[in-house]
Structure formats: structure tokens, C-alpha cells
């Protein structure tokens, strides 16, 4: 019996704005206008400013553990911008703050979350997203279910879910990809491949050359993009979002980026990363790259930059103020949201703040003594 | 779906009652989606969803890929987006892969989002032993879920209770695990109203009234308790309580009974240590300390792995062990 090839596939890589800030005009056609790039650049600077201050808040003891987003902003912003605010739905993990802000999450919510306050997860009505998700990869199934609901109700809406390279080892990643493609629901799987899952590099995480190729097993379109290139991320996500919206089913996007900071403030990446590698990626920083592009097109000046940075600083001060000047939650809150209606025992625990039966009903103490 | 002549004449089995409840509520609420392994064309391995795909279509009665975390996780997503998913996990032993989604997400979402996102879903799960099933098809894990804040757990054992409690579960704004004792699926028929009715979650039922001893059980074991009662001398008066809901527990019904009887035996299929019987015994000593005439007794599965079916009936509490324990508790 002769053997024959029953399946072949290849993975495309897209880069439109290279690390020197040089744009591929042909590929950039119909992506972002100069004005849009200017707006998104300024937004990126604001998000970076908040990220830096969040780090300092942790270091000065004003906030708990925080995972910095630094270096991955183009991936978050380019993808978030490709989705329709108020229509589409974001299902994040925890390193794409900029996409959430873009879709209407007040910035201080993120600080509240990391300050140990669930109100940072109390997504305002009309803002279409789930809160940050801490366990790795589980949220991709929620995105698939949300997209499934959109399909069932024939709503032209899309869910985008974010996760890292490490998450693609989790079973839930594969179950979500399989459910989404089998059910053909409008979801975009957006992988921020930042090369490191805490201390484990991609080559120890998987034997696949790319994350994108994992979609092939599920019969799902996929692409790898330069994740620090705002244009490429936007273009790829826009295509995936519109394909999903038009009934074309799910897609996987692998955005090649880099975590310039530690995994979280509790981590020290110097223990496992070569400083030369970090240095090389610092040269590919999406902020620097966009600035080079804007400079070359004479769309931006040092004076504008100074003004923007000052504004960003002031904005962050206000955001921090909002997060810090909120009244401490009451202990009653931990009970009140367990169920829509509190069962009797929970109500008793809330009313007495006791779990012991004599603590809950002190009269019983007398009953015992009388005996 | 109209009732068959058999149903009209002899009543409904537990399976019939659940099927009818699903059909009636799906008719009224198009947010309901049934999803799970083999639930569609095949009607589920126990045929609980038999015929529903034909009525409601492939989009509302969905054969999913074979992945329990995927079933639970996408059900959570459906619920987040305003649907009313009813996932089926084929056997309680396969709740393991879904546990992560159920406990980490479904149970916690109302709390962690301070009410912004809620998860109204009903997880249907066949539970318990006694049907000669293979390994991991006969366990009783209800205490694990009762121990999880944010989940409600029900386990009816009659067609009447199943219908009323399932409707309450579906309409509940929070996640409910609906355990179906598979040993009772077709063990008897009962005449129950055709129209919809609800039974509140969290209310136990006094099956037989009595004055000498309180016998507490739930699920299929209730029928072993009834068998035990038949074997007792006529002058022994036992009050049998069927919990029906595992969480939230109906302490009042149990406490009122034990205050009256002063003695209590609790029967569960699950292993003894750290099971629901332990919780109930604790509540009884908290609430009825001065009324107790004897130590509260637990007749349970052993603290072993559930055996393969050749020994399952010896593992499960039977009428003999229950009657013996009742006798010892009365003699104390």
C-alpha cells in the first residue's frame, strides 16, 4: 500500500511594524489610520504609567502581589481595539489590563483587585467582560460558553479570551478549543506568548514550534503575529473577530511578545532569565517601537511626549486615589453574595459573626447551667 | 410530551418525572440548554433526556464532546451570558474533571464579582451504588459539594420530590447540583401531578412519623430504611426523615424530631468519616444536647474505596445493619 499525505498545514507569521519602527505599507493598508495610532499610542503610555505605579504600590506595601503588564501592551491594545466596545465580550486572565480599560473597565478596579478587594471584580453594568481569572486556562471555557450563547441567540457578537503560553498546556485550553470548533461558536483565542510561564520557558513547556499550530488539531484557523507590533495584532484580531461575527467560527492568535518584568511582584526573574535575552527584548518594546514610527512620520514631538507623560502621571494619581480612598468592605459582604438568598445557618453566622452554637445562641449557656 | 398509557395507569418512575420536568420547563423557558455526553439522540445513558432533542432540536439538547471540564466550563459561560444551562455529568465518578470548574468558578462567581456575575445552572448527576455498575460509577460524593460554599446540593429519591425539586433547581438563581439516585431510577412508579409544581430547596420530609427514634437518610438509602422499619417489632415507633436537600440542610425538621424522640440514627451510602452524617450528628448535639438519650449513631458506607459490584450490597447500608443500629440505639 503506498503511503499518502492526508493532511498538511502551515503557520503564517505577520509583522507589519518592525522593531525599528519601519512600516510595511502594503500590509498596513486598511489597518490603523495615523490618528488611530496616535490615540492608541497615548493610551498605551497611560496604561504603562499605571502599570509602573502599580509595581511601586506593591513595593511600598500599599498593594498586594501584582503581575506587571510591561512590554505586552501592543498585544492587549491591538486586540482590544479590534473588538467592538459594548458589543463584544472580553474574557481575560490577568496580563491584558489595557484591553479591559479600552472596553470600559475603570482603571482603579484593577488596583482594587490586587489590593485584595472583590469590588475590583464587580464589573459595571454595560461593560462586557469577566473579571481577572486567576487559575490558569479555565476562563477559555467560559468564553466558549458565552460565545455559544451569542450563537444560540443569533446575536452578532464575539468573545475574545486571553491566556499565556503556559495555559496551552492545560486541559481546559484543549477542551475549549475542541468545544469551540466543534460547536463553531464566535470566540477568538488570543494567546500572549510572552515566552515564560513564571520560570519555565516555551521549549520546556511544549514540544511544538508554535502555539498557533495547536489550532490545526482542532480544524481552526490560526496565525502567529509579532505581538509587540500594534498593526499586526490589530489586523490579525480584526480578521478573526469579523470571521467569528460572520459565522466563520473560532480562531487562535499567537502573539509573540515578552514579559519585560517579573511574573509578579513575588517573583525574581533574574533567577532564571539571561539578562541578554531581556535586553534584546527591551529593544522590541512596543512603546519604543510606536514612538519610532510616530517620529519618522513626524506625528509626535518631545514636547508632546513630556506633556503626555505629565498628564498620565496626574491621571494615575487620581486612579490610585480612587482605589485607596474607598471604604473598607464590611464583613457582611462575604455572606451577602454567597447566594441570592441566604440559607438560615449562613444568616445566623452573618448576624452573630459566630460559628459556635453557644456563640450563636448564648441563652443556651444558661440552659446548661440550670441543669 | 404527553404521558404514556403506562404512566397514566401506573404512575411515573424517577426517570419519567425528571424527563417530564425538563420538557415542561424547556417549553416555557427558551434560555434552557441541555448539554452533556450522549444526552441528545441517545437520550442519555439512563434515557433521562429521551426524546427531548426531537422536541427541542439539536441546538437546545446538545451532544457535547466527551470532556467534563468542557461541559461544566461552557455551561458556566452560557450562564454568564444569560442562558439557563442544565449540564449532565454522566456518572458522579466523572465529576472529578468538572470539579475544578464547578468549585473554582460556578460556586464562587457571585461572591468574587460581588453579584455582578451569577451562575444559574443545574448540574444533573446520577449518584450512588447498587446497580451493578463498573468502577467509579457508584460513589456518593455529596458531602464534598455540601462543603463547598456557593453550591446547593439536592438529592430527591421519589418521582414526586424529583419533579418539584428539579423545577426549583432550574429556577434557582445559583448553581445547584441535582443528584439522581440511580438505584431508584426505575425501581418504582408513583402517581404525581402532571402540572408543574415546586418543592422548596432546603426542606426535609418526614416520611413516617414516630416517637421513639429519629432515622435520617437521603437518596436510595431511604428505601433501605423503610425496609428496616418493616422488620422492627410493631411497638417500635420510628420517625423517618428524608433530607431531600443536602445543602442547605433542614436542621429544624431534624432537631424538632430528635427533641421529641431523644434518639437518632443517620444512614448514608457515603463513607463514614467527614460525611453528611457527621455534620448532622454535630448539629443534633448542638441543638438537642439536653434531649439526647443515646449517642447519635451513623450507619454508613465503610471508609474504604467503593468495591466492585460483587461486594457492593455488603458495602452499602442495608436493612439489617440499619435495624440492628436502631435496636442498639433504643437499648442504650
Nearest CB to A145 within list B76, B150, B286: B76
CB pair distance less than 8 Å for A171 and B97:
yes
State the smallest CA–CA distance between residue B63 and chain A in angstroms. 10
Residues B217-263: tens digit of each pLDDT: 999 999 999 999 999 999 999 999 999 999 999 999 999 999 999 99
| Three-state DSSP state, B131 | coil
C-alpha to C-alpha distance for A10 and A332, rounded to whole angstroms? 56
* Three-class secondary structure assignment of A118-171: HHHHCCCCCCCECCCCCCCCCHHHHHHHHHHHHHHCCCCCCEEEEEECHHHHCH
Nearest CB to B110 within list A89, A338, A368: A338
The answer to whether B175 and B102 are in contact (CB under 8 A) is: yes
Active site residue ranges of B:
137
C-alpha to C-alpha distance for B193 and B70, rounded to whole angstroms? 36
State the smallest CA–CA distance between residue A275 and chain B in angstroms. 37
Instruction: Say what the pLDDT of residue A366 is.
Output: 77
Active site residue ranges of A:
259, 263, 272
CB pair distance less than 8 Å for A146 and B78:
yes
Give the residue-averaged pLDDT of A221-225: 98
Search chain A and give the residue with CA nearest B35: A145
List A195's β-bridge partners, or say none.
none
CB pair distance less than 8 Å for A145 and B67:
no
Give the residue-averaged pLDDT of B288-315: 97
Question: Whose CA is closest to A174, among A141, A222, A152, A200?
Answer: A141
CB pair distance less than 8 Å for A122 and B113:
yes
State the smallest CA–CA distance between residue B112 and chain A in angstroms. 6
State the smallest CA–CA distance between residue A16 and chain B in angstroms. 35
Q: How confident is the model at residue A364 (pLDDT cuts 50, 70, 90)?
A: confident
List Cα–Cα distances, A285 to A94, A256, A311, B11, in angstroms. 20, 12, 21, 71
C-alpha to C-alpha distance for B194 and A335, rounded to whole angstroms? 38
Size of interface A-B (CB pairs under 8 A): 147
Q: How confident is the model at residue A352 (pLDDT cuts 50, 70, 90)?
A: very high
Search chain B and give the residue with CA nearest A364: B287
Collect all residues of chain A within an 8 Å Cβ-Cβ radius of residue B289. Answer: 368
Position A1 pLDDT exceeds 90:
no
Search chain A and give the residue with CA nearest B62: A183
Position A370 pLDDT exceeds 60:
no
Q: How confident is the model at residue A365 (pLDDT cuts 50, 70, 90)?
A: confident
C-alpha to C-alpha distance for B332 and B328, rounded to whole angstroms? 6
Instruction: Say what the pLDDT of residue A67 is.
Output: 97
Question: Whose CA is closest to A319, among A130, A114, A96, A92?
Answer: A114
Search chain A and give the residue with CA nearest B108: A338
Position A293 pLDDT exceeds 60:
yes
Nearest CB to B114 within list A122, A175, A339: A122
Q: Which residue is listed with cell 404521558?
A: B3
% of chain A exceeding 90 in pLDDT: 96
| Three-state DSSP state, A177 | helix
Residues B129-175: tens digit of each pLDDT: 999 999 999 999 999 999 999 999 999 999 999 999 999 999 999 99
Instruction: Say what the pLDDT of residue A155 is.
Output: 98
Collect all residues of chain B within an 8 Å Cβ-Cβ radius of residue A345. Answer: 248-249, 251
Collect all residues of chain B within an 8 Å Cβ-Cβ radius of residue A118. Answer: 111-114
State the smallest CA–CA distance between residue A174 and chain B in angstroms. 9
Look over chain B and give the mean of its residue pLDDT values, rounded to a whole number: 97
For the four alpha carbons of B263, B269, B275 and B279, in that order, the dihedral sign comes to negative
Q: What is the DSSP string of B1-50?
A: -PPPHHHHHH-B-HHHHHHHHHHHHHHH-TTEEEEETT-STT--TT-TTT
The three cell numbers locating residue B318: 442495608
C-alpha to C-alpha distance for A193 and A163, rounded to whole angstroms? 8
CB pair distance less than 8 Å for A339 and B152:
yes
Burial class (CB in 10 A: 0-12, 13-18, 19+), B256: middle
CB pair distance less than 8 Å for A367 and B290:
yes
CB pair distance less than 8 Å for B77 and A145:
yes
Collect all residues of chain A within an 8 Å Cβ-Cβ radius of residue B100. Answer: 135, 138, 172
Instruction: Say what the pLDDT of residue A369 is.
Output: 62
Instruction: Say what the pLDDT of residue B137 is.
Output: 95
State the smallest CA–CA distance between residue A82 and chain B in angstroms. 21
Collect all residues of chain B within an 8 Å Cβ-Cβ radius of residue A126. Answer: none
Name which of B62, B66, B70 to mutate to probe chain A: the one with the most chain A Cβ atoms within 10 A of its Cβ: B70
Q: How confident is the model at residue A363 (pLDDT cuts 50, 70, 90)?
A: confident
C-alpha to C-alpha distance for A196 and B182, rounded to whole angstroms? 47
The interface predicted TM-score (ipTM) is 0.96
Search chain B and give the residue with CA nearest A367: B290
Amino acid at each position: 500500500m503506498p503511503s499518502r499525505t492526508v493532511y498538511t498545514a502551515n503557520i503564517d507569521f505577520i509583522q507589519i511594524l518592525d522593531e525599528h519602527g519601519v512600516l510595511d505599507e502594503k500590509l498596513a493598508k486598511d489597518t490603523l489610520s495615523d490618528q488611530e495610532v496616535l490615540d492608541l499610542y497615548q493610551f498605551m503610555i497611560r496604561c504603562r504609567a499605571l502599570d509602573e505605579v502599580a509595581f511601586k504600590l506593591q513595593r511600598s506595601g500599599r498593594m498586594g502581589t501584582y503581575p506587571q503588564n510591561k512590554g505586552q501592551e501592543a498585544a492587549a491594545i491591538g486586540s482590544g481595539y479590534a473588538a467592538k466596545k459594548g458589543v463584544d465580550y472580553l474574557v481575560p486572565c490577568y496580563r491584558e489590563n489595557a484591553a479591559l480599560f479600552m472596553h470600559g473597565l475603570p482603571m482603579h478596579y484593577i488596583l482594587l483587585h490586587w489590593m485584595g478587594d472583590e469590588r475590583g471584580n464587580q464589573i459595571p453594568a454595560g461593560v462586557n467582560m469577566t473579571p481577572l481569572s486567576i487559575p490558569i486556562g479555565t476562563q477559555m471555557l467560559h468564553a466558549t460558553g458565552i460565545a455559544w450563547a451569542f450563537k444560540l441567540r443569533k446575536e452578532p457578537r464575539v468573545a475574545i479570551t486571553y491566556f499565556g503560553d503556559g495555559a496551552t498546556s492545560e486541559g481546559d485550553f484543549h477542551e475549549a478549543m475542541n468545544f469551540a470548533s466543534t460547536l463553531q461558536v464566535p470566540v477568538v483565542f488570543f494567546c500572549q506568548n510572552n515566552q515564560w510561564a513564571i520560570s519555565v520557558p516555551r521549549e520546556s513547556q511544549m514540544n511544538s514550534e508554535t502555539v498557533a499550530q495547536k489550532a490545526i488539531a482542532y480544524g481552526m484557523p490560526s496565525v502567529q503575529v509579532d505581538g509587540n507590533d500594534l498593526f499586526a495584532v490589530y489586523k490579525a484580531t480584526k480578521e478573526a473577530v469579523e470571521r467569528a461575527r460572520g459565522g466563520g467560527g473560532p480562531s487562535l492568535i499567537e502573539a509573540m511578545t515578552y514579559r519585560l518584568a517579573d511574573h509578579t511582584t513575588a517573583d525574581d526573574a533574574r533567577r532564571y532569565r539571561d539578562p541578554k535575552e531581556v535586553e534584546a527584548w527591551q529593544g522590541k518594546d512596543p512603546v519604543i517601537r510606536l514612538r519610532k514610527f510616530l517620529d519618522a512620520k513626524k506625528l509626535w514631538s518631545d514636547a508632546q511626549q513630556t506633556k503626555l507623560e505629565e498628564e498620565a502621571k496626574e491621571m494615575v494619581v487620581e486612579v490610585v486615589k480612587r482605589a485607596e480612598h474607598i471604604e473598607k468592605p464590611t464583613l457582611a459582604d462575604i455572606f451577602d453574595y454567597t447566594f441570592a438568598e441566604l440559607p438560615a445557618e449562613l444568616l445566623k453566622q452573618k448576624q452573630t459573626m459566630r460559628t459556635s452554637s453557644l456563640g450563636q445562641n448564648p441563652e443556651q449557656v444558661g440552659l446548661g447551667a440550670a441543669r | 410530551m404527553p404521558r404514556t398509557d403506562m404512566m397514566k395507569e401506573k404512575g411515573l418512575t424517577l426517570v419519567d418525572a425528571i424527563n417530564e420536568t425538563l420538557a415542561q420547563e424547556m417549553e416555557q423557558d427558551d434560555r434552557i440548554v441541555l448539554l452533556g455526553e450522549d444526552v441528545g439522540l441517545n437520550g442519555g445513558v439512563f434515557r433521562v433526556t429521551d426524546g427531548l432533542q426531537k422536541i427541542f432540536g439539536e441546538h437546545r439538547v446538545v451532544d457535547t464532546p466527551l470532556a467534563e471540564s468542557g461541559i461544566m466550563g461552557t455551561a458556566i459561560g452560557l450562564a454568564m451570558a444569560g442562558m439557563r444551562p442544565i449540564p449532565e455529568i454522566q456518572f458522579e465518578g466523572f465529576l472529578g474533571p468538572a470539579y475544578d470548574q464547578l468549585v473554582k468558578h460556578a460556586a464562587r462567581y457571585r461572591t468574587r464579582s460581588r453579584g455582578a456575575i451569577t451562575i444559574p445552572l443545574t448540574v444533573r448527576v446520577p449518584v450512588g451504588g447498587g446497580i451493578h455498575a463498573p468502577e467509579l460509577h457508584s460513589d456518593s460524593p455529596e458531602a464534598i459539594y455540601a462543603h463547598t460554599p456557593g453550591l446547593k446540593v439536592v438529592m430527591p429519591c421519589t418521582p414526586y420530590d424529583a419533579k418539584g425539586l428539579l423545577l426549583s433547581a432550574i429556577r434557582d438563581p445559583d448553581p445547584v447540583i441535582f443528584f439522581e439516585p440511580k438505584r431508584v431510577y426505575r425501581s418504582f412508579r408513583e402517581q404525581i401531578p402532571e402540572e408543574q409544581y415546586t418543592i422548596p430547596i432546603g426542606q426535609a420530609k418526614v416520611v413516617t412519623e414516630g416517637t421513639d427514634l429519629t432515622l435520617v437518610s437521603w437518596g436510595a438509602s431511604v428505601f433501605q430504611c423503610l425496609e428496616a422499619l418493616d422488620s422492627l417489632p410493631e411497638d417500635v415507633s420510628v420517625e423517618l426523615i428524608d433530607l431531600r436537600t443536602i445543602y442547605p440542610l433542614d436542621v429544624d425538621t431534624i432537631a424538632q424530631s430528635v427533641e421529641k424522640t431523644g434518639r437518632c440514627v443517620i444512614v448514608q451510602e457515603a463513607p463514614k468519616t467527614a460525611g453528611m452524617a457527621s455534620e448532622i450528628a454535630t448539629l443534633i448535639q448542638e441543638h438537642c444536647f439536653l434531649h439526647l438519650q443515646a449517642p447519635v449513631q451513623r450507619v454508613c458506607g465503610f471508609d474504604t474505596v467503593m468495591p466492585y459490584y460483587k461486594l457492593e450490597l455488603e458495602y452499602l447500608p442495608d436493612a439489617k445493619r440499619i435495624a440492628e443500629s436502631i435496636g442498639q440505639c433504643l437499648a442504650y
